[in-house]
Amino acid sequence: SQQGEEDPQALSIQEGENATMNCSYKTSINNLQWYRQNSGRGLVHLILIRSNEREKHSGRLRVTLDTSKKSSSLLITASRAADTASYFCAFYPGGGADGLTFGKGTHLIIQP
Amino acid sequence: DSGVTQTPKHLITATGQRVTLRCSPRSGDLSVYWYQQSLDQGLQFLIQYYNGEERAKGNILERFSAQQFPDLHSELNLSSLELGDSALYFCASSAFVRDEQYFGPGTRLTVT
In angstroms, rounded to a whole number, what is the distance separating the alpha carbons of residues B45 and A82?
Answer: 28
Give the range among A27-41, A46-60, B65-79 with minimum mean pLDDT. A27-41
From the list A6, A1, A45, A50, the residue with the least C-alpha distance to A27 is A1
Smallest CA–CA distance, residue A64 to chain B, in Å, is: 17
C-alpha to C-alpha distance for A107 and A61, rounded to whole angstroms? 16
Q: What is the predicted pLDDT for the residue at A4?
A: 79
Q: Is B78 helix (H, G, I), strand (E, B) or coil?
A: strand
Q: Does B100 sit within 8 Å of A102, measured CB to CB?
A: no
Kindly report, residue by residue over B19-50, the tens digit of the pLDDT: 999 999 999 999 999 999 998 889 999 999 99
Confidence band for A96, pLDDT divided at 50, 70 and 90:
low
- In chain B, which residues have pLDDT < 70? none
- E strand or H helix at B51: none
pLDDT of residue A93: 80
B2, B4, B48 member nearest A98 (Cβ): B48
C-beta atoms of B92 and A43 within 8 A: yes
- What is the mean predicted confidence (pLDDT) over A24-36? 93
What is the C-alpha separation between B96 and B100, in angstroms, rounded?
8
Q: Does A105 touch chain B (CB under 8 A)?
A: yes
Rounded Cα–Cα distance for residues B19 and B84 (Å): 15
Task: Kindly state the helix (H) or strand (E) to which residue A53 belongs, with its residue range.
Answer: none
pLDDT of residue B98: 82
Angstrom distance (rounded) from CA A78 to CA A16: 4
B97 interface with A at CB cutoff 8 Å: yes
Chain A nearest CA to B59, separation (Å) = 10
Question: Are A30 and B104 within 8 A, CB to CB?
Answer: no
Q: What confidence tier does A1 reach under pLDDT thresholds 50, 70, 90?
A: very low
Query: Is A27 near chain B, with CB under 8 Å?
Result: no
For B48-55, the CB contacts below 8 A with 24+ separation are: B48/A98, B48/A99, B49/B74, B50/A98, B50/B97, B55/A98, B55/B31, B55/B97
| Residue A68 CB partners (closer than 8 Å, separation 6+) | none
- A45 CB neighbours in chain B (<8 A) are 100-103
Peptide bond into A8 cis (omega under 30): yes
